[in-house]
Structure 1
Amino acid sequence: MTHDVVLRSRRAILPDGEHPAAIAITDGRIADIAAHDAPLPAHRDEDYGTLPLLPGLVDTHVHVNEPGRTHWEGFATATRAAAAGGVTTIVDMPLNSLPPTVDPEALGVKRSAADGQVFTDVGFWGGAIPANLGRLKPLHDSGVFGFKCFTAHSGVDEFPPLDPDRLHSALAEAARIDVLVIVHAEEPGMLDAAPAGADFAGFVASRPSGAEVAAIRQVIDAARHTGARVHILHLSAAEALDELRAARHAGLPVTAETCPHYLVLDAAEVPDLATQFKCCPPIRDAANREALWTALADGLIDCVVSDHSPCPPELKQGDFGTAWGGIASVQLGLSLIWTAARERGHSLSDVATWMATAPASLVGLHGKGSIAIGNDADLTVFDPERRWRVRGAELHHRHPITAYEGRELTGTVTATWLRGRPVGATPHGRLLSKE
């Protein structure tokens, strides 16, 4: 047969490691994986030589903010930035958009807003808030990939948190319909009691590690009593790793993620009023960062995702007490993590596991996240040696604000393929539903 496309590389990152390979693509899927020089008839044949070919990344933690706050970010800008960074699938968070995705009608509004303007494939999380408890199943049946909740204030009033009793109720409901619940875990009483300040040190003191530990312990306890599958979002506090380890040893279905900013940045390097570094939970110290790397290498932390959460420049003005908390990095994650991972002796196969295979598995995207026969032909061509410097004005997300301005990175994406087609000026992404 004649394939649509054949992509060749002497460094293809396959499920069993790095190998020379030719990837044959037909009808948007991987039809064959053969030797690098195998004769595979195709309408188009691209040989990338020694440039590695990775599975397209899967970022399950992206705040697109459209509709309602499209002036913060939108589907066109967020997904174009994602694709430029080698991401071929995102899952959009249910909050910061208006309306938040807490019922089937709101999901329909969001899907209508996204339709026709996405450069990656896009799935959607639903939200669990006090007002929709007991009514999660209709939203699940509409195709969301699971439910997000907060244990503390979310930052926007239209998406209130769940207190311990409501968290237990939400997890019990999720267990009945066998759906994943993802949790922003910080204990609100400890946050309220913590000292606060306008500079970076004061902000870090206002979000202590202990608040994460206490909330994660609470989530694990609720999972133990309900049987729900839970996932801890954007883990920043290494002190919580013992709680996760104990839960795993007990056989509980508890997973966790962390983000590039927690694996790359060091609190000691953050200037006092540089609010582009504000995120919740906060960036912590270098020793904490290295403990997260150890947990990632050991498999205790499952995956690395962006928590891309941009906003207009005026919301980043002021001080750490008033500025919006969020770091825009959906385009930079692969380069950030590769730069730091190679310094610690990790391979591109490790990075592909953390940023493609594991997040795809987390949300049940079984046809994505790895270069395997039958999977969607989502592929990233990566130059792991090219050194470059981040300039916010050259990134594709809506506003040129980045915590990484001027930072030198190693490795850059040279091409992104989505279902067998190169991502270019015309979007051809699809809107996904959980099967």
Structure 2
Amino acid sequence: MAAATQLDVVLRARGAIIGGAEVAACVGVLGERIAVITPYDDPPAAVRTVDLADDEVLLPGLVDTHVHVNEPGRTEWEGFASATTAAAAGGVTTLLDMPLNSIPPTTTVEHLDVKRRAAEGQVRIDVGFWGGAVPGNVPDLGPLHEAGVFGFKCFLLDSGVPEFGALEGEAFTAAMAQTARLGALMIVHAEAAELLDEGALDGRRYAGFLASRPRAAEDAAIAAVVEAARGSGARAHIVHLSSSDAVPLLRAARADGVDISVETCPHYLTFAAEEIADGATALKCCPPIREAANRELLWAALVDGDIDFVVSDHSPCTPDLKERGGGDFGAAWGGIASVQLGLPAVWTGARARGLGLADVVRWMATAPADRVGLAHKGRIEVGADADLVRFAPEEELTVDVAHLHHRNPVSAYAGRRLRGVVRETWLRGTPVGPGVQDAPRGRLLRRGER
């Protein structure tokens, strides 16, 4: 920044998460980027200065790389306008949209263009797209990669929607070989179909649903992904890890040089199987929420760095699909809508375990941004996008579905007391989200572009 250049705005915070620590600082913004960071008592000249309240901490905007927006095709479940408004309300300034649950799925360049046209002019935050790897579309992976998708999502078992088929055996091997040639990231829903036990399903009983999708199904599928990545040299990522039993396998693979990362989700860190009432299908997700002891091992793996980051797996639907079968876990749709609540949910758990906001920022902003190549997102540093969040870490909220901004009033967190409130979210130097009347100003991102 030239010495004579006046900043557009300076945010002064007695607490800001910068460089992995909470410090007092002034963050100066010029245009859409952070131009300078100075000590709190040495604010640079600016057109406007914003002083954060004493109970607020300045965070970088979160990066949620696992969101099902569902538009077009199932827009009654969710859509770009509602999903990005909810995300902004939750401190998320960048999301990557999953390639399935929309119709058409993002498995060809033509389908990607349909998705982008649907999103254009609706997004309140920055949005990128995953491509899909499904049977028969290996020839489409290269063109999708060139078109700017951030990598490819596949399932190793039934995805739950007929238009997005599972990759099995040689089809998975071929897709991994192609992503290795492209240098693309393959992200995998890892459960082994042959180890599921549908006979254990028992209507409204959560214990039956949990038994139907055992840890062994996750562990075996993850082992297969590790071996495929090892053999092909492909970059791989395991989505929504729920089985803590797989952590040693992943740790050993990385020690051997396998390029594999792993995420978990707020619901696996918050809830426990022992607390889920029979018929409470708002808490159904796949893989399932497991026991409290498993939850604590996931927290330990996060602290140790064996789990790389935390993202929402925001997977909403209409109330009738969640309630299908009158609380029957075999019939209800599996997915948890949480893009607005991830930050307070994870912070509540982290704080209770003596962890800090710098840890939460690393897990929910910096690490996911780095894994998908968004080095200008998820951090407060000079040159980064001015994606910023005013967060009140000690303020409490009770989750009221009527105050959530995703399309349907369904939440596993309904009535739950959480700590931490997002008071304002800034995207590239400008406030966004609920209550902001300006036209949506989010951008559609392409891999490798700034």
Name the TM tier (shorter chain).
over 0.9
Preserved contact between residue 201 and residue 212 of structure 2 (Cα < 8 Å): yes
Whole-angstrom CA distance in 1 between matches of 2:429 and 2:169: 46
SS across alignment from 2:330: coil
Q: Which runs of 5+ in 2 are unaligned?
A: none
Whole-angstrom CA distance in 2 between matches of 1:366 and 1:260: 23
Matched with 1:400 is 409
The alpha carbon displacement at 1:196 in A equals 2.1
Matched with 2:299 is 293
- Amino acid paired to 1:432: L
CA deviations 1:29-51 (Å, max 9, x no partner) are: 00000111224221221010431
Matched with 1:279 is 285
Whole-angstrom CA distance in 1 between matches of 2:410 and 2:32: 35
Q: Is residue 7 of structure 2 the alignment partner of residue 3 of structure 1? A: yes
Q: Is residue 97 of structure 2 the alignment partner of residue 92 of structure 1? A: yes
Would you say how many aligned residue pairs link Structure 1 and Structure 2? 435
Map residues 20-99 of structure 1 onto 2, 5 A cutoff.
20-50=24-54, 51-99=56-104
Matched with 1:218 is 224
Which residue, out of 430, 436, 443, partners 1:430? 443
Matched with 1:376 is 385
Whole-angstrom CA distance in 2 between matches of 1:197 and 1:149: 29
The alpha carbon displacement at 1:241 in A equals 0.9
Preserved contact between residue 125 and residue 442 of structure 2 (Cα < 8 Å): yes
Preserved contact between residue 380 and residue 415 of structure 1 (Cα < 8 Å): yes
Preserved contact between residue 194 and residue 205 of structure 1 (Cα < 8 Å): no
Deviates more, 1:358-367 or 1:188-197: 188-197
Whole-angstrom CA distance in 1 between matches of 2:136 and 2:14: 54
TM-score of the superposed pair, with normalisation by structure 2: 0.95
SS across alignment from 2:78: coil
Rate the CA distance shift 1:182–1:214 in 2: closer, same or farther, 3 A. Answer: same
Preserved contact between residue 197 and residue 206 of structure 1 (Cα < 8 Å): no
SS across alignment from 1:130: coil
Whole-angstrom CA distance in 2 between matches of 1:184 and 1:32: 41
Map residues 63-142 of structure 1 onto 2, 5 A cutoff.
63-142=68-147
- Amino acid paired to 1:313: P
Which residue, out of 232, 248, 251, partners 1:245? 251
Deviates more, 1:33-42 or 1:394-403: 33-42
SS across alignment from 1:213: helix
Q: Is residue 173 of structure 2 the alignment partner of residue 189 of structure 1? A: no
The alpha carbon displacement at 1:131 in A equals 2.1
Matched with 2:421 is 412
- Amino acid paired to 1:275: T
The alpha carbon displacement at 1:197 in A equals 2.1
SS across alignment from 2:196: helix
Whole-angstrom CA distance in 1 between matches of 2:169 and 2:64: 29
Q: Is residue 273 of structure 2 the alignment partner of residue 267 of structure 1? A: yes
Preserved contact between residue 12 and residue 43 of structure 2 (Cα < 8 Å): no
SS across alignment from 2:287: coil
SS across alignment from 2:380: coil
- Amino acid paired to 1:337: V
- Amino acid paired to 1:389: T
Q: Is residue 321 of structure 2 the alignment partner of residue 308 of structure 1? A: no
Preserved contact between residue 201 and residue 329 of structure 2 (Cα < 8 Å): no
Preserved contact between residue 194 and residue 207 of structure 1 (Cα < 8 Å): no
Whole-angstrom CA distance in 2 between matches of 1:272 and 1:91: 33
Q: Is residue 148 of structure 2 the alignment partner of residue 143 of structure 1? A: yes
TM-score of the superposed pair, with normalisation by structure 1: 0.99
SS across alignment from 2:240: coil
Percent of aligned pairs with the same amino acid: 59
Which residue, out of 14, 19, 23, partners 1:19? 23
Whole-angstrom CA distance in 2 between matches of 1:333 and 1:285: 20
Whole-angstrom CA distance in 2 between matches of 1:27 and 1:18: 25
Preserved contact between residue 187 and residue 214 of structure 1 (Cα < 8 Å): yes
Whole-angstrom CA distance in 2 between matches of 1:339 and 1:192: 34
Whole-angstrom CA distance in 1 between matches of 2:291 and 2:198: 22
The alpha carbon displacement at 1:202 in A equals 1.0
Rate the CA distance shift 1:124–1:396 in 2: closer, same or farther, 3 A. Answer: same
The alpha carbon displacement at 1:193 in A equals 6.3
The alpha carbon displacement at 1:120 in A equals 0.7
CA deviations 1:58-104 (Å, max 9, x no partner) are: 00000000000000000000000000000000000000000000011
SS across alignment from 2:136: helix
SS across alignment from 1:134: helix
Deviates more, 1:187-196 or 1:45-54: 187-196
The alpha carbon displacement at 1:156 in A equals 0.2
CA deviations 1:205-233 (Å, max 9, x no partner) are: 11110000000000000000000000000
Matched with 2:348 is 339
The alpha carbon displacement at 1:305 in A equals 0.2
Deviates more, 1:113-122 or 1:419-428: 419-428
Matched with 2:331 is 322
Whole-angstrom CA distance in 2 between matches of 1:217 and 1:425: 49
* Alignment RMSD: 0.9
The alpha carbon displacement at 1:16 in A equals 3.7
Whole-angstrom CA distance in 1 between matches of 2:79 and 2:45: 40
- Amino acid paired to 2:39: A
